Structure 1
């Protein structure tokens, strides 16, 4: 299937979002969970969400001992048995490379525990807002594409004659594998419904996370796959701007990121400064277009996940082409500069280390002799270095 991009070209989503083979969901005995978590040792806590604490531990999965994330329901949580069984039902039937895998569960007296594959790189939220991880634009875009593939599979490719609406898409529910592949997690609020019509809805009590919540769903109680598309648009905004979906520390007109960026038209002015100068103009235009469409007030005007995914994959191609051309231009510029520099023929100090500068750099026929060592141009008169920037080959700064 092909979709149109902003410049009229057609693009087909990648077929790499293949479905993994179905695997059984195992029932763990409570004593196995106690052993894995050292009786719920606080030192093993790696997270805490609406469901409860998450522990890191090792469990038997098949014939292997593997690391796992073990989520234990908190007795004070607003969630409970409904969310617990919804998670099991959903993930037991679904297998995809961009969905977190559920190894199994434990239901013992009042204990309700879910056992997942362990994601060593934590959540997208952590890296964007807590750890300050330096994430390149290509890196961020690939995380968004992985998330989009997972949602597209949920909506249309489950192979179980029904579609799944996640209902709580947000950066804290996007986990990152050690390879940095994105995996969607937390299906406690998900709903299953027919897929025969794009806007088939489920009438339900409004649940989700403020800031990511579809305004139309909030107003009508009608949950559709386009509600996930809206939340995905908010995640794209977070990635572009490195700002939280909701930030009450800001001025009142800015604390809701989606409303401020789209309604107030501020998106192009709040792109994260770490990536602003590194995004291809064409790529940025495509991504802004996707965000604006995903966050449209009218669900009918929002793209399907397939369409949003196609646009993002096309944007990635545009960015990679831009990076390649920029790199080639940088190499050409470096070569031209180097070819114009007269190299010293003085061999007086040839027995010394290559890293040591000659003290006999003298003018040659009225021209200054310049030595070039490993990308650093040495000016003999000042003994200072001009370093060629790897990120910007046109920038030559004197240190």
Structure 2
């Protein structure tokens, strides 16, 4: 979309025409940009700076508790609350009577609605677009924190909401539905959820993942929804929406509005929680400054001359900035769906202390990661600076950004944004306060040992993330560098898989990704067949995951030969203990026997199964997740480690048939020029 230009004046001067010509010739195209934010979890120590809880709503236990929980001497009934993002967004452009552009937005969030002490739930939770952060008085009960008896139904509310209703009022279809609310809690459109197998507030823990997408150009709102109980891994967004509505948002909400959540309880109470929240809003282009229009209309030579000089100066400054930024990369980035926020280089430079060595968190084959604090938001971040040669760094940067910007899973490190300025290629991730798993497993004596419950939870979290990448995302994604140093831990020791520098997406009809220069990954985690095929597959990712499991349980790196009674790799040593019937001797001695025996046995056998030399014999991620949940037994592991034979009977493809083992010669997504080194 081009810049909006001022109309020609009735009697233009030559300077005015010159200025307009300059603007037409030199105005850079302004592709649509997006604003937004991302909360993988919620931290009360930092997130009160960007979120505004109202009423009894609080940020607590890594969640937004929009109505109070049952801890402490708190009144739970007849309550209402709101939590909104503090920054407002411009949602339409032009005059109120005839808007010229309506912004699109996408949001996704995970919610948990729990009745108190298995009682009757009430009343509900809503995602809202509101004119201000205020909470109407008396908005408890059926008003859901949206309106009250006086204001309900008034167009002056300028309120839009998608409600998740758990209590039947006279105007509701039932006590378990979603609805589209416009200025009133009497929904314009409802969808009963029992028909879809959903129960918003059952007497057991269920997480609902919701996507709300609004297309301002088509005036179309769509709501997608899936349920995730504690034993089920994260599912992908459904192919079809559960609710679709035609909506001109400019006729409802204020031009500048706020996004957030509202909830209420009535005579019955429930806990209304939001566990994660991502938001992307189209940034509307800015029109021509008022001063420019006035100067052209008046046609005073001096004013026109000043404006022409300013325009020429602006053109020079723009060209200078453009020279430092690759327009091809920028064009690619801005066209990517769901692209996160673009950061200013000066803000990241300030946040990291000019990339001070004292702020370095780690360094890998592709770049250096620094910790930092965004002062304006008081938010801690991790900034990855790409450091290979210019061409390879651009490839690395685009590959990682292209893939991870589309991934949404609670066991992946959330990407917050990117920056490409001053010759720097930077990615900004959510800061993980517990650091890497590597730092806890192989810690020195001065650090506290990682207890068993955390170890098991971490392995299960990584398995869930890997299942998402391999089987649930709309493309198969190969991580290709699974190891302890690439697994980060949040404040509650939940695993977050990170470092997607080697990751590649592959087409649905393909099963592998071929690397033209060497075998990517880290020795000890690379599957043996990769050295023969030059291919990365889901089976090779499983092999790396097996190495991680053994690392976590044994507290040893995969290749430290001196620790393994002469065996070259950790898996060989554990297999020898399995053969001798004493596999539990492999458990990390620093635990001092303080571990769950059956869980340890399960993990060690699963680690060996994933480390099987023959790729087709390794379990797939759906089975792995079930094994870790205890619902499925570990597959039989032979007492002797099978020999690696090449060529073997072949790798299994998606249909269970053998595939050709000839190395691929072209990539499936990014072209034939991707390169990586063993590191």
TM-score with structure 1 length normalisation? 0.68
Bigger proportion of residues as helix: 1
- Change in 2 beyond 3 A, CA 1:220/1:255: same
1:311 equivalent in structure 2: 627
Q: Which residue of 2 aligns with 1:241?
A: 554
**Residue 155 of structure 1 aligns with which residue?**
470
Distance 1:50 1:180 in 2: 26
Q: CA deviation at 1:34?
A: 1.3
Q: Which residue does 2:489 correspond to in 1?
A: 176
Offset at residue 42 of structure 1 (A): 2.2
1:71 aligns with 2:384: yes
TM-aligned CA deviation for residue 232 of structure 1: 0.6
Residues 255 and 157 of structure 1: CA distance in aligned 2, closer, same or farther (over 3 Å): same
Aligned residue number for residue 371 of structure 1: none
Q: CA deviation at 1:273?
A: 1.9
Q: 1:39 aligned to 354, 375, 391, which one?
A: 354
1:15 aligns with 2:222: no
Distance 1:296 1:47 in 2: 31
Deviation at 1:186, TM superposition (A): 0.6
**Alignment partners' CA distance in 2, 1:145 and 1:257:** 21
The question of 1:48 aligning with 2:348 is answered no
Which range moves more in the overlay, 185-194 or 167-176? 185-194
* 1:39 Cα deviation after fit: 1.5
Instruction: State how far apart, in whole Å, the 2-side matches of 1:77 and 1:51 are.
Output: 11
CA shift digits 1:350-377 (9 cap, x unpaired): xxxxxxxxxxxxxxxxxxxxxxxxxxxx
The count of corresponding residues between Structure 1 and Structure 2 is 301
Question: CA separation in 2, counterparts of 1:203 and 1:52?
Answer: 23
Q: Are the equivalent residues in 2 in contact too, given 1:13–1:306 (CA < 8 A)?
A: no
**Alpha-carbon spacing, 1:215–1:276, altered in 2? closer, same or farther (3 Å):** farther
Q: Looking at CA atoms only, which structure, 1 or 2, has the larger radius of gyration? A: 2
Q: State the match for 1:122 in structure 2.
A: 435
TM-aligned CA deviation for residue 256 of structure 1 = 2.0
Shift of 1:270: 2.2
Structure 2 partner of 1:27: 342
Residue 195 (structure 1) shift = 4.2
Tell whether the 8 Å contact from 1:22 to 1:95 is kept in structure 2 after alignment. no
Gaps of 5+ in 1: 1-11, 318-399
- Equivalent residues in 2 for 1:1-399, closer than 5 Å: 14-15=231-232, 17=234, 23=280, 24-59=339-374, 64-75=377-388, 80-131=393-444, 132-158=447-473, 160=474, 162-195=475-508, 200-205=511-516, 206-247=519-560, 250=563, 253-262=566-575, 265=578, 267-275=583-591, 277-314=593-630
Cα distance in 1 between the residues matched to 2:391 and 2:608: 33
Secondary structure at the residue paired with 2:630?
Answer: helix
Shift of residue 93 of structure 1? 0.7
Kindly tell me: are residues 299 and 31 of structure 1, through their superposed partners in 2, closer, same or farther at Cα, counting changes over 3 Å? same
Q: Sort the Cα spacing of 1:243 and 1:85 in 2 relative to 1 into closer, same or farther, 3 A.
A: same
SS of the aligned residue for 2:370 comes to strand
**Structure 1 Cα separation of the partners of residues 409 and 344 of structure 2:** 26
| Residues 514 and 534, structure 2, Cα contact 8 Å, conserved in 1 | yes
Deviates more, 1:125-134 or 1:268-277: 268-277
Moved more, 26-35 or 221-230: 26-35
* Structure-2 separation of matches of 1:315 and 1:172: 29
> Shift of the alpha carbon at 1:214?
0.9
Task: Give the 3-state SS of the residue equivalent to 1:93 in structure 2.
Answer: coil
Query: Distance in 2 between the 1:119 and 1:79 partners?
Result: 27
How far did 1:17 drift?
2.9
The Cα shift of 1:75 comes to: 4.6
Give the superposition deviation at 1:264. Answer: 7.3
**1:226, distance to aligned residue in structure 2 (A):** 1.0
Q: CA deviation at 1:277?
A: 2.9
**Residue in 1 aligned with 2:205?**
none
Q: 2:481·2:522 contact (CA, 8 Å) conserved in 1?
A: yes
Tell whether the 8 Å contact from 1:13 to 1:313 is kept in structure 2 after alignment.
no
Distance in structure 1 (CA, Å) of the matches to 2:369 and 2:601: 39
3-state SS of 1:223 partner: strand
Deviation, structure 1 residue 35 = 1.5
CA contact (8 A) 1:155 1:195 kept: no
- Post-superposition offset of 1:16: 5.1
